[in-house]
Structure 1
Amino acid sequence: MFRDVFWVDGMKLRRSVVWPVIVLVPIFLSVVGVNNYAEHRDVFRGENLLGWMGAWTQVVFLYGTVLCPVLVGVYAGLINRMEHMGGGWKLMLAYPITRTHVYLSKVLWVWLLIGFTTVMMFVSFWVIGWLYDVEGSFPLKTLSWMFVKGWLASLPLSALFTWVSIQWKNFGMPIALNIVFVLPNVFIINSSMGRIYPWSQPGYAMTPSDRLEYVPTDEHFFWVVIISTALFLAGGIWHFHRTELKG
């Protein structure tokens, strides 16, 4: 049953604007970040940050700290917007499917869309860095692990903003709320709170450890992701079961 719900949600996304976003946003951010690195090589040389990791510090600020958390809200809003229009919720919930399956399907799709974006970010960064002739060999293993952790760190937000987007019919409200909580990231990510603040976790996970004041162990990171995801899933499913959706 879950597989059917998941497949239907995927079919609804086929012609969504989400796919151009997944392709174009990583390319844009890579060009902006790597270009900034290339134009200020002398500064990075003075900080001993020449090479791929130096270039990545410019991209991760744009993607991990700002855009990744915002995109979670955008994707969650898009995948639930179809149900909010034209009586979609009543039609969907009239079928013999459980609300738990509906909720989990949407969370998984939001998370997968972030995963696709992260893969595109990885590829775009490598290609743009190569075009800009970034120094040194590409740190495949290190960057791959950072990208995987960043994707995992987006799971709690995927659960949270699926919850929010289901409750709010207005597409812009969840995104606006998300932006409000993203703004403090500039300060929180360099504090101990960055390890547990959901909006900071993607950027925290993808930032080189030598650029962080507080470096959590992988075990601590996984526990934070597991616990916060479980809390948001439980709260979202509980509330979804008790909400009368009129859309």
Structure 2
Amino acid sequence: MIGRMLSVELLKIRRKLLWMLAALGPVGVIGLQAVNYGLRYDYLMKLYGDSPWEGLLRQVGSLMLPALFIGLALVASMSAGIEHQAGAWKQLLALPVTRLQVFGGKVMLSLLLLLSSCTLLLLLTLGMGLLLGFDSQVPWAEIVRQSYLPYLAALPFIALQSWLSIVMANQALPLTVGTLGMVLSMFSLLMPVWMPWGWPDRAVRSADALQAAGSGLALGVLVLLIGYAHFARKDVS
């Protein structure tokens, strides 16, 4: 039934800007790197001459993580904002659907949109490397890891932003939390390993990338359960 609710959510955003927003992040990241390579190509080739693909992935990764944090906040807020702006939560919950299905449909929509962003980033990174003439063997494993493991590591924040955006009519606080997460992610190298804001970066750069992704998945499920428990008991207007 959650799958049916997801289908309904997809119909709701058919004429919205959410798909464009999901594409804007990876397009912006690769666009900025295109400018970066256009202006500093010789320097970057000298710096990463022995491993040009590694250099490209490092450059893309430096912009990808802040984009992921602010993107997940905007996607969750705009998804929940459809009901908040129309004052339609009571009407929605009066339908023959459970609160679990409603909550799950909203969360699944955010997860799907962000997964689409990660997939688009993978394709654009690959395309940029090929256009730059990197004729060495394509490091598929590294490209896939960089595109998807940070997504898993960021699941606690996707869950948190979905929860806050659903239960709060005023989206100022959820967006503030998302902006704060983006800022904190820029200092991830200074954080101890137990802080979740550093997990997406560890999923890109560290040897324990799988551990960071697994930690994000586990904490994300826990946050989702707490968020649903709150939503299930909350009065809506």
Give the TM-score normalised by the residue count of structure 2. Answer: 0.88
Distance in 2 between residues matched to 1:26 and 1:223, nearest whole Å: 24
Relative distance call for 1:135 and 1:155 in structure 2 (3 A) is same
Match of 2:83 in 1: 83
SS of match in other structure, 1:36: helix
Deviations 1:89-143 (A, max 9, x none): 0111001221122112211111111110011111111222322334633211221
Residues 156 and 219 in structure 2, CA contact (< 8 A), matched pair in contact too: yes
Distance in 1 between residues matched to 2:31 and 2:228, nearest whole Å: 40
SS of match in other structure, 1:55: helix
Q: How many residues align?
A: 236
Relative distance call for 1:160 and 1:94 in structure 2 (3 A) is same
Relative distance call for 1:224 and 1:27 in structure 2 (3 A) is same
Distance in 1 between residues matched to 2:64 and 2:88, nearest whole Å: 33
SS of match in other structure, 1:184: helix
Amino acid at match of 1:91: Q
Shift of 1:44: 6.1
Match of 2:223 in 1: 232
Question: Which stretches of structure 1, 4 residues or longer, exceed 4 Å deviation after superposition?
Answer: 46-50
Distance in 1 between residues matched to 2:165 and 2:23, nearest whole Å: 23
| 2:232 counterpart (205, 219, 241) | 241
Match of 1:7 in 2: 7
Match of 1:212 in 2: none
Residues 26 and 117 in structure 2, CA contact (< 8 A), matched pair in contact too: yes
Distance in 1 between residues matched to 2:28 and 2:220, nearest whole Å: 30
Distance in 2 between residues matched to 1:49 and 1:151, nearest whole Å: 29
Matched, 1:206 2:192: no
Match of 2:124 in 1: 124
SS of match in other structure, 1:85: helix
The percentage of counterpart residues that share the same residue type is 24
Amino acid at match of 2:62: F
| Structure ranking higher in helix proportion | 2
Distance in 1 between residues matched to 2:179 and 2:75, nearest whole Å: 14
Amino acid at match of 2:204: M
SS of match in other structure, 2:86: coil
Amino acid at match of 1:89: W
What is the RMSD of the two structures over their aligned residues, measured on CA atoms? 2.3
Distance in 2 between residues matched to 1:125 and 1:177, nearest whole Å: 29
Distance in 2 between residues matched to 1:112 and 1:49, nearest whole Å: 36
Relative distance call for 1:3 and 1:50 in structure 2 (3 A) is closer
Gaps in structure 1 of 5+ consecutive residues:
210-214
Match of 2:32 in 1: 32
Residues 10 and 109 in structure 1, CA contact (< 8 A), matched pair in contact too: yes
Gaps in structure 2 of 5+ consecutive residues:
none
The 5 A counterparts of 1:88-103 are 88-103=88-103
Residues 79 and 110 in structure 1, CA contact (< 8 A), matched pair in contact too: yes
